[in-house]
Structure 1
């Protein structure tokens, strides 16, 4: 039987993962997932671990009822940030090809992040009303995404990681790949052939494979980059297609509701 073996969210884009036993889904994916992002102060361009590996050491956690965010990092005092109003202090930001106006979280958060990251930056938040359209080559009009690179949810099979580990020849953390949903009980790379699945009472459409980048070579605990560029080097030997390396599948939820770790997963198509 295939089951949902782990649930993760990342409140701050490129920040530390948070493992959950229960997660609610809204119109943008897991509630609280990638709703905050760090941007360059001058340009509004998004910042990630690709440029600043130390971002992976920032722990961002939602406060009571999701009205605030708690930031902590090595050598920094903890900071609580209130969720700005959806029209407060709007700042123009760019994430890949998308440009949008989103609320700025204020000077205290900007100063905290600028000191930790060593460059002028701002913290922004995305309310549901200002979310981005998912690429209509893979989604319907009106299907939206938060600050993730392109899709609301990412699924990886545990057997797929196990196969990769055997090929690389050393342990690899699942969090290198930053999934939201991990499933157990399927064959390695079985998710490549799925089109629709159901987890509990919720249905999901498999949109496309997830193309991988240098981020996978970073240790999720330390931010250190592997000198041999693993696991990307090995993935390129058998998972490369048209110049891109794929591992995991991007999903779009076909409704809202609640997920629990351990729920059965049914392949519908």
Structure 2
């Protein structure tokens, strides 16, 4: 088994970045994954005491499919976030400075007015990740599981619909479900598989056309009797990983 590809999603709900390498740290998500988010006007997130909040309090694909229309790119060296709207308008701003966050919030609100509730805030808190899970995790999906879903649905289902951190090759369909409570070794890193991932309406959005055009949740339930795809894992020993790295289960 091996890593096929690695992705991070710097802004919750927006487009991914394909990574040539990634650094794993104990108890943390992939670096800069879901590091930023747009908090809706009714969101109770407090940057000074960052704690997990439901995804529905933020701009998210499950409730706001138009979020897929915004492209994002994060330059961690320059500390600049670039957003591009459907009409081609672009902003480069620092998500670490108050002025930059204000500008980013205004840009998104202008680009996606139908997705806004009240006055939004662009938010960041050091070492916090706006992931759906209540603790920071890495998500893994076996590509053969997605091929099994495609065969059952009778149509392509792009892997990025499922917004995973790591896509794996060389295993059996749904084999990752058998890894729960086991240790996964990738290079010098170790992760503990903790839970299956129950999927939501975010998977309805096609990452290529950026439109809702299928219902993988219904397809999973109809064909396999569950709505799960992929697993969460907690990093217990960190280090660098890259596509092509071998994935091993430890006894």
TM-score normalised by length of structure 2 = 0.85
The answer for the alignment partner of 1:156 in structure 2 is 141
The answer for the alignment partner of 2:108 in structure 1 is 113
The answer for the alignment partner of 1:216 in structure 2 is 203
The alignment's C-alpha RMSD in Å is 1.9
* Corresponding residue SS for 1:179: coil
The answer for the alignment partner of 1:266 in structure 2 is 248
8 Å contact kept, 2:94–2:101: no
Alpha-carbon distance in 1 for matches of 2:85, 2:233:
31
Distance 1:42 1:190, change over 3 A: closer
Q: Which has the higher contact order (CA 8 A, sep 6+)?
A: 2
Which of 155, 167, 170 aligns to 1:170? It is: 155
Q: Residue by residue, what CA displacement relative to the aligned partner does 1:237-261 show, whole Å, maximum 9, x if unpaired?
A: 24445xxx21100011112221110
More helix by share: 2
The answer for the alignment partner of 1:235 in structure 2 is 220
1:12 matched to 2:11: yes
Residue-pair matches, total: 230
Which of 171, 181, 185 aligns to 2:166? It is: 181
Shift of 1:218: 1.3
Q: Residue by residue, what CA displacement relative to the aligned partner does 1:134-186 show, whole Å, maximum 9, x if unpaired?
A: xxxxxxxxxxxx11100421100011011111110111100011111011000
The answer for the alignment partner of 1:41 in structure 2 is 41
Gaps of 5+ in 2: 45-56
* Corresponding residue SS for 1:30: coil
Q: Residue by residue, what CA displacement relative to the aligned partner does 1:64-94 show, whole Å, maximum 9, x if unpaired?
A: 5262212222214321221326xxx6xxxxx
Distance 1:213 1:198, change over 3 A: same
Gaps of 5+ in 1: 90-103, 132-145
Which of 210, 221, 229 aligns to 1:247? It is: 229
Alpha-carbon distance in 2 for matches of 1:223, 1:19:
17
8 Å contact kept, 1:59–1:71: yes
